[in-house]
Amino acid sequence: NLILNNAKTIGVLVPNIGNPFFSSFIAGIQRVSREFEYLPFNFSGSNDPELENYYMKRLISRGADGMIIASSTITSETLNDTLKKNAIPYLLMDQSPLSDGDQVRTNDTLGGKLVADHLLELGHRNITIVMPENATDNILYRVKGFKAEIVAQDAQKVCHVTTIYRPLTKKGGFESAQAVVDSQATAVFAINDEMAIGLYRGLTQLGYQIPTDVSVIGYDGIDLDEYVSPALTTIQQPISRMGELATELLINRINNPRIEQQVVELPVRLIQRSSTTAPK
């Protein structure tokens, strides 16, 4: 306890600790925290604003030196009433809808465009997006980038894009399989890799083969992508680097409270594996 009281601490709030995206993100946070002799406390808000608020208040009353918030449900009120009021340095990540204070982001618009480029180049014209309803802003940018590129390249208006809404989980992906089949898509853009992996199982159970019957592309670049069969084509975000950078910027802010707003946008890239091919 004595040691804990002396250590400098960072509170980390993620939306879903079950998603490997957030394990890699936290691994990055741990690496840099250790280097700078900080101790990270990680909490998963499970997309429940009340729970997030609870963790945040507890962390602050325990004297956290700063907060990394990678959750979508953070509101301006919470920021003002808890963090700002107590002058706690914070950094907003990824899913946050607010453009307040220091931030680390990736280029989701570009990511969506890369998906469209890849599928169009393979010859797909009938594409289904699988995504959650009430998606976070970063996901909406992904979709926007995708659709804008389709429109830009589809002068003849032959492309058909369908959207299926399911929760942002493996189960959500799994449960979208029948609707995907019904949509008659030759390719699916699963808005994250977890959904793609759930969809794999759903399509396989229905007797469909990936990529011969339908191509699947995910988004994130989680480590599982290389271990599923076929290995998943995806848009890779530099996930653990995002965690490292978030920690570096936050510690910089803790040490220099008056510096200007720090906003860094990291690049994304297409990793082509075996789950996408030309339509039959």
The answer to whether residue 175 forms part of the interface with ligand RIB (CB under 6 A) is no
The answer to whether residue 200 forms part of the interface with ligand RIB (CB under 6 A) is no
Helix 20-35 to helix 193-205 angle (10° resolution) is 150
Return the residues of window 214-243 that contact ligand RIB according to CB under 6 A. 219-220
Which region, left, alpha or beta, applies to residue 211 given φ > 0 means left and ψ of -120 to 50 means alpha?
alpha
Triad 110, 228, 107: Cα angle to 5°: 10
DSSP 246-268: HHHHHHHHHH-TTSPP-EEEE--
Considering the complex, state which of residue 192 and residue 247 has its C-beta at the smaller distance from ligand RIB: 192
Joined tokens for residue 178 = 């029948």
Given a contact cutoff of 8 angstroms between Cβ atoms, the answer to whether 29 and 247 are in contact is yes
**Cis omega before residue 211 (within 30°)?**
yes
Minimum Å gap between C-beta 19 and ligand RIB is 5
Minimum Å gap between C-beta 64 and ligand RIB is 23
Considering the complex, state which of residue 44 and residue 138 has its C-beta at the smaller distance from ligand RIB: 138
Which position among 9, 71, 109, 138 is part of the footprint of ligand RIB (CB under 6 A)?
138
Exposed, middle or buried: residue 157 (CB in 10 Å: 0-12, 13-18, 19+)? exposed
The answer to whether residue 141 forms part of the interface with ligand RIB (CB under 6 A) is no
Residue 90 to residue 119: CA distance in whole angstroms: 39
The answer to whether residue 94 forms part of the interface with ligand RIB (CB under 6 A) is yes
Minimum Å gap between C-beta 96 and ligand RIB is 9
Considering the complex, state which of residue 21 and residue 146 has its C-beta at the smaller distance from ligand RIB: 21
Considering CB under 6 A, how many residues would be counted as binding ligand RIB?
Answer: 10
Considering the complex, state which of residue 67 and residue 168 has its C-beta at the smaller distance from ligand RIB: 168
Helix (H) or strand (E) holding 70: none
Considering the complex, state which of residue 65 and residue 244 has its C-beta at the smaller distance from ligand RIB: 244
The answer to whether residue 192 forms part of the interface with ligand RIB (CB under 6 A) is yes
Residues that bind ligand RIB (CB under 6 A): 19, 21, 94-95, 136, 138, 192, 194, 219-220
